[in-house]
Structure 1
Amino acid sequence: MGRLIVAEFRKTLTTKSWWGLMIPAVVLALGFAAGWGAFANEVGDVLDSDQTQAIADALGIQTGDLPMGLLAIGHGINVGLTFPVIFGVFALAGEYSKKTITTTFLTAPNRVSVLTAKMITYILWGAIYGLILAAVSSLGIAMTVDSNRLPTSGQWLGVLGASVLAGILATLFGIGVGAVWNSVVGSVVTLTIYLLVIENVLVLLFYGLWRVDWLGGILPNGTMNGIVGAIGAQAFGAAGVKVPGLDSEAQWTLQYVAGAPGAFSWWASALIFFAWTMVFFGAGWAANQRRDIT
């Protein structure tokens, strides 16, 4: 197993995909975190004074010290998570497209060992993506958010851990989708459009027309985003245990600003996205046990 894992790392390190996807992930995470940080610095104007005071009183701090940076950091990390998903697609679908899967399967004891080695390797890659995205997003909010509105050390650590977890699950999710579809182009195009456009439009449409505020809390992209984003929402009483005096519209607005509209809590988002990941990963695993190679 150790040799198979080393071989998997060599495969990724000798291609351009790992750094070719890392660069836009870092740039977008930094830009989104900085941009939303500037917006979150003024987000108190969105809420009326009574609701803002209710949040501040519940947190036991002054209104001007609300951790607005915690609302923004999720956006940077979440937009960057699209890239470990795409990176995961290359794990199996990429080998099929390049016709290297035959050598991989024939030189390993069995397909189970190959898929296990890939899973372990890409878990580590997902953790690396999560760490880097948390770091650059932290830099982004530090550039645009007032120092008294930045997260506490405990909140920083929580975001870091959640980002690593989200990076791992995002990568495994990409592996599963790519393994089921067995096409790099089809998987990447469909996932990108769905993650960045379709689901976001659905969430906004359902809330705007019918006030359905929970849809983002059960769909794949919403739950992936909620792993980190809900930490910011929970810090304002907009997810998990609700702050008294915060109405449903203000709650959803705070969730949206945090990048996790509809999220129930960070751990609920993690569990639901884990379920989505296992559905696709399990289906892909099963499909590749029977798939012919040439």
Structure 2
Amino acid sequence: MDGLVKSEFRKIFTTNLWWALLIPVVVLSFGASWLGSGFGAISSIEQELGRPLPLGLLTMSMSTNFSTIFAGLMGALAFAGEYRNKSITTTYLTGNPRGAVLGAKLITYTNLGLLYGLANVLFASLGALAGAGLDGFGEGADWLIVCAAGLLAMVLWTLLGVGFGAVVANPVIVIIVLLVYKFVFEFVVDLFLIGSDASSVSSYLPGAAGSGIVGNLAVPIFISATAGANEQYVPQELFELLHFVFGGSYGHPWWLSLLTFAGYAAVFILGGWYFSKRRDIT
């Protein structure tokens, strides 16, 4: 297994793809965190209260939710890219059984997801510092909790991508499906379900669950830090507005989002194991 893992690291770092997808993570993490700190509704609340708010908690959620798709794409191309380059045959012949290859990729891409997550945390923090100043970070413990959730979300998106790429094994389809699903499909579904009895279903969709890992943690912490003892009087509409902008779903616990998304990742990984064992590579 050690040899397979080392081989996977060599495959990653001898190509340009890993840093090409890391660049938008850095740019979006910084930009979303910086621009998100100027959200109009928050600025008006700050003026009314006469004190700075921990906006960095919210912008970390926004930055993570924009950036995770690139970790997912990187993970998805772990298998799909090898099928495109025809190197999967050599990989399977030298890494038999095929399940060992999947295991090596999961170990390797977990570490890559951590790298992407650390880049997201670092540059989102710099963006929050540029937009909201030191006071925008809130309590140190709250900040660390939200950052840890961001790291976890990035890793899970990477692993889901690995499983999805193993199932589909076509890089063009993988890229199109992930991008369209995250940025178009769920948005359309949400619009369709708004106001219906089935509106809560949207919280269990992969994209919403992924964003809820951070958003459903960051928004309640922000409200608690801002309102203090008056938290119970904060209107639901404000929660919903913050979730709409910064991610997550009102009234949906972050740990349930975590379990839901981890479940999707596990399903795709198991599916990837099943199909990779049976797919013809000749």
The alignment's TM-score, normalised by the length of structure 2, stands at 0.90
- Residues 34-80 of structure 1 show CA distances to partners (whole Å, capped at 9, x for unaligned) of 1111116x416379x7xxxxxxxxxxxx6634322211221111101
The answer to whether residue 141 in structure 2 is matched with residue 142 in structure 1 is no
Match of 1:25 in 2: 25
Label 1:204 to 1:149 Cα distance change in 2 as closer, same or farther (>3 A). Answer: farther
Match of 2:243 in 1: 255
Q: What letter matches 1:82 in structure 2?
A: I
The answer to whether residue 43 in structure 2 is matched with residue 37 in structure 1 is no
Q: What letter matches 1:13 in structure 2?
A: F
Match of 1:159 in 2: 146
Match of 1:84 in 2: 71
Match of 2:275 in 1: 287
Match of 1:52 in 2: none
* Alignment gaps of 5+ in structure 1: 50-61
Cα distance in structure 1, aligned partners of 2:222 and 2:187: 22
Residue 81 of structure 1: SS of its match in structure 2? Answer: helix
Q: 1:279: how far off?
A: 1.1
Q: 1:249: how far off?
A: 2.2
The answer to whether residue 213 in structure 2 is matched with residue 214 in structure 1 is no
Cα distance in structure 2, aligned partners of 1:199 and 1:45: 30
Q: 1:160: how far off?
A: 2.2
Label 1:237 to 1:143 Cα distance change in 2 as closer, same or farther (>3 A). Answer: closer
Root mean square deviation, CA, Å: 2.3
* Alignment gaps of 5+ in structure 2: 225-229
Cα distance in structure 2, aligned partners of 1:96 and 1:128: 25
Match of 1:276 in 2: 264
Cα distance in structure 1, aligned partners of 2:136 and 2:108: 38
Question: Contact between 1:30 and 1:140, CA under 8 Å: does it hold in 2?
Answer: yes
Label 1:263 to 1:127 Cα distance change in 2 as closer, same or farther (>3 A). Answer: farther
Cα distance in structure 2, aligned partners of 1:237 and 1:220: 25
Cα distance in structure 1, aligned partners of 2:199 and 2:219: 14
Residue 234 of structure 2: SS of its match in structure 1? Answer: coil
Q: What letter matches 2:44 in structure 1?
A: D
Label 1:188 to 1:167 Cα distance change in 2 as closer, same or farther (>3 A). Answer: same
- Residue identity (%): 36
How many aligned positions are there? 276
Q: 1:212: how far off?
A: 6.3
The alignment's TM-score, normalised by the length of structure 1, stands at 0.86
